[in-house]
């Protein structure tokens, strides 16, 4: 068997129907009328754009404070990493590992993996297609877990903002980090994994 | 035609699904899930309605309650977003609402909208547009991440104050499980097959 696109067949991204649509531009799926394309339009360019923005924001997301805490005993500020160290020191090493993985390892690994995938397609590397396909699936499924720290900060802020004894405020890393999560998820979704296989026969 | 022709969504390889449909089929070339049989729209609909009730409970009650000296404060999801908003973090507030409330709600509402008429053999107006909303919402909803985030917040504050999990944390936990069950029971291919006869 061969790829659908090689035979001039479209597979619909909405309903999955395989159809031979007319060659006219703006062809639509005969079953659900979604506009058809063989591949996601300008997939690699979109992916790079999201990735570059995510790389730029990854720096403030990890160096600026994500949370300010003030209490009768003084005030402190936390970056993502110092929040992880706090969990570790207070004995919750398992949660420290989870937050470290979700907030620091996953976004960075995701950016590197997607950059490698986009480059591999752009330069037509022919090897390790199955591994790259698996890497893409992994990246797509773990990306959402990076939202973890944003949710933690949101709940801490809500719980501690009104007490007279202590206050927690969100810091400037929070929007930067949220943007990194959204941008890397958008980058993964704009990448079309079918491109990995397109030059297999040539 | 009793052997349905499919193109792999992740590598575009054309393949046939054998006539007695297997429970699950993987792509022969890249290993992506090509096809996964569901357990019928009726069961999916029942799970969807359950999930909507849980989502309502999860937003009506506190997720966490904090007791510090004589003060008691509670956090709901809306309260968390409001607190972020009041601290000049409108984008973060909206992002939290979007991923933990709006997208799960959109996913469940879209499913109910498509499945209720289909159970009576009718096709809902705007079927394809609502289905695309469903696809989008299921990619951006992060209920399971929110549940873990609540647990981390619980432990983190538990070191310095007395924090208790609220009804909403249990509801969000249950919602996470029911949404996983929906994903396992929902077969988009069968939905489209039924819709084209309706």
Per residue in A57-68, pLDDT (tens digit) is 999 999 999 999
A164 has a pLDDT exceeding 70: no
What would the two tokens of residue B129 be?
A: 């547009």
A114 has a pLDDT exceeding 60: yes
Q: Is the minimum CB–CB distance between B130 and chain A shorter than 8 Å?
A: no
Write b or e for each residue in B146-161: b if 16 or more Cβ atoms lie within 10 A of its Cβ, otherwise e: bbbbbbbbbbbbeeeb
**C-alpha to C-alpha distance for B196 and B175, rounded to whole angstroms:** 31
* pTM beyond cutoff 0.90: yes
Angle ∠(A175,A145,B156) on CA atoms, nearest 5: 75
**C-alpha to C-alpha distance for B80 and A152, rounded to whole angstroms:** 10
Chain B from 33 to 62: CB within 8 A of any A CB: none
Domain ranges of chain B: 1-36, 39-197
pLDDT at A201: 65
Instruction: Work out the end-to-end distance of chain A between its first and last CA atoms, rounded to an integer number of angstroms.
Output: 15
Segment among A8-17, A19-28, A33-42, B144-153 with least mean pLDDT:
A19-28
- Band (pLDDT 50/70/90 cuts) for residue B23 is confident
Residue B35: closest CA among B51, B44, B23: B23
CA of A59, closest CA in chain B: separation in Å? 18
Q: Give the residue, A202 or B152, on which the prediction is more confident.
A: B152
A26 has a pLDDT exceeding 80: no
CA of A13, closest CA in chain B: separation in Å? 8
The topology under which CATH files domain A42-197 is Butyryl-CoA Dehydrogenase, subunit A; domain 3 (1.20.140)
- Band (pLDDT 50/70/90 cuts) for residue A35 is confident
- Band (pLDDT 50/70/90 cuts) for residue A70 is confident
To which residue do tokens 């995701």 refer? A110
CB-CB contact of A166 with A140 (8 Å) = no
**Which chain B residues are closer than 8 Å to A198 by Cβ?**
12
Q: Is the minimum CB–CB distance between B157 and chain A shorter than 8 Å?
A: yes
CA of B97, closest CA in chain A: separation in Å? 10
Nearest Cβ partner of A130 from B30, B84, B152? B30
- Band (pLDDT 50/70/90 cuts) for residue B24 is confident
A23 has a pLDDT exceeding 80: no
Query: Is residue B155 classed as helix, strand or coil in its secondary structure?
Result: helix
- Band (pLDDT 50/70/90 cuts) for residue B36 is confident
A202 has a pLDDT exceeding 70: no
Chain B from 52 to 111: CB within 8 A of any A CB: 63-64, 66, 68-69, 71, 73-76, 79-84, 86-87, 89, 91-93, 95-96, 99-100
Task: Cite the residue boundaries of each domain of chain A with CATH code 1.20.140.
Answer: 42-197
Closest chain A residue to B73 measured between Cα atoms? A159
**Which chain B residues are closer than 8 Å to A151 by Cβ?**
96, 100, 145-146, 149-150, 153
What would the two tokens of residue B27 be?
A: 């792509």
Distance of CA A80 to the CA centre of its chain: 18
* Rounded mean pLDDT, B154-170: 90
B92 has a pLDDT exceeding 80: yes
CA of A63, closest CA in chain B: separation in Å? 18
A174 has a pLDDT exceeding 60: yes
B2 has a pLDDT exceeding 60: no
The mean predicted confidence, pLDDT, of chain A is: 89
CA of A120, closest CA in chain B: separation in Å? 15
Continuous segment of H or E residues that includes residue A75: strand A74-78
* Rounded mean pLDDT, A182-200: 92
Query: Exposed, middle or buried, B80 (CB in 10 Å: 0-12/13-18/19+)?
Result: buried
Closest chain A residue to B96 measured between Cα atoms? A151
pLDDT at B1: 44
Nearest Cβ partner of A148 from B31, B93, B145? B145
**Which chain B residues are closer than 8 Å to A150 by Cβ?**
92, 95-96, 149
User: In angstroms, what CA-CA distances link B140 with A19, A143, A181, B134?
Assistant: 29, 10, 11, 10
Continuous segment of H or E residues that includes residue A3: none
**C-alpha to C-alpha distance for B98 and A141, rounded to whole angstroms:** 19
* Percentage above 90 pLDDT, chain A: 57
Q: Looking at this predicted complex, what is its ipTM?
A: 0.92
Q: Is the minimum CB–CB distance between B22 and chain A shorter than 8 Å?
A: no
**C-alpha to C-alpha distance for B106 and B115, rounded to whole angstroms:** 14
A107 has a pLDDT exceeding 90: yes
Segment among A29-33, A163-167, B126-130, B151-155 with least mean pLDDT:
A163-167
**Which chain A residues are closer than 8 Å to B11 by Cβ?**
3, 133, 193-194, 196-197
What is the tens place of the pLDDT at every residue in B96-123? 999 999 999 999 999 999 999 988 888 9
Task: Tally the C-alpha atoms within 13 A of residue B164's C-alpha that lie toward its C-beta.
Answer: 10
CB-CB contact of A138 with A49 (8 Å) = no
DSSP assignment of B11-65 equals T-BEEEEPSS--SEEE-TTT--EEEE--S-HHHHHHHHHHHHHHHHHHHHS-SEE
A162 has a pLDDT exceeding 70: no
* Rounded mean pLDDT, B37-53: 91
Nearest Cβ partner of A147 from B30, B145, B155? B145
Segment among B58-67, B140-149, B189-198 with least mean pLDDT:
B189-198
């Amino acid at each position: 068997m061969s790829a659908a696109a090689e035979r001039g067949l479209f597979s619909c991204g909405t309903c999955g129907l395989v159809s031979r649509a007319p060659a006219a531009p703006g062809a639509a799926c005969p079953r659900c009328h979604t506009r058809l394309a063989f591949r996601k339009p300008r997939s690699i360019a979109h992916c790079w754009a999201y990735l570059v923005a995510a790389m730029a924001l990854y720096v403030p997301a990890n160096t600026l404070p994500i949370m300010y805490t003030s209490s009768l005993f003084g005030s402190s500020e936390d970056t993502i990493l110092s929040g992880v160290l706090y969990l570790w020191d207070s004995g919750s090493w398992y949660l420290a590992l989870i937050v470290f993985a979700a907030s620091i390892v996953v976004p960075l690994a995701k950016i590197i993996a997607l950059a490698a995938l986009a480059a591999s397609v752009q330069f037509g590397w022919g090897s390790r297609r199955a591994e790259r396909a698996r890497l893409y699936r992994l990246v797509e499924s773990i990306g959402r877990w990076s939202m973890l720290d944003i949710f933690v900060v949101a709940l801490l802020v809500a719980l501690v903002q009104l007490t007279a004894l202590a206050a927690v405020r969100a810091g400037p890393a929070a929007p930067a980090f949220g943007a990194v999560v959204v941008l890397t998820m958008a980058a993964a979704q704009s990448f079309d994994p079918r491109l990995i296989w397109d030059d297999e026969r040539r | 035609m009793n052997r349905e022709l499919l193109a792999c969504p992740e590598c575009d390889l054309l393949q046939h699904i054998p006539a007695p449909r297997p429970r699950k089929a993987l792509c022969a070339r890249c290993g992506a899930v090509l096809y996964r049989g569901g357990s019928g729209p009726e069961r999916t609909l029942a799970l969807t309605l359950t999930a909507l009730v849980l989502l309502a409970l999860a937003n009506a009650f506190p997720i966490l309650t904090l007791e510090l000296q004589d003060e008691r404060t509670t956090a709901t999801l809306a309260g968390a977003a409001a607190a972020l908003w009041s601290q000049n973090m409108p984008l973060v507030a909206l992002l939290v609402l979007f991923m933990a409330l709006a997208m799960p709600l959109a996913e469940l509402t879209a499913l109910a909208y498509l499945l209720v008429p289909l159970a009576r053999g009718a096709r809902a107006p705007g079927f394809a547009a609502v289905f695309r909303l469903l696809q989008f919402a299921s990619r951006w909803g992060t209920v399971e991440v929110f549940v873990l985030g609540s647990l981390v917040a619980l432990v983190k504050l538990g070191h310095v104050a007395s924090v208790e999990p609220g009804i909403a944390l249990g509801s969000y936990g249950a919602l996470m499980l029911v949404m996983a069950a929906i994903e396992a029971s929902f077969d988009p291919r069968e939905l489209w097959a039924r819709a084209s006869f309706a």
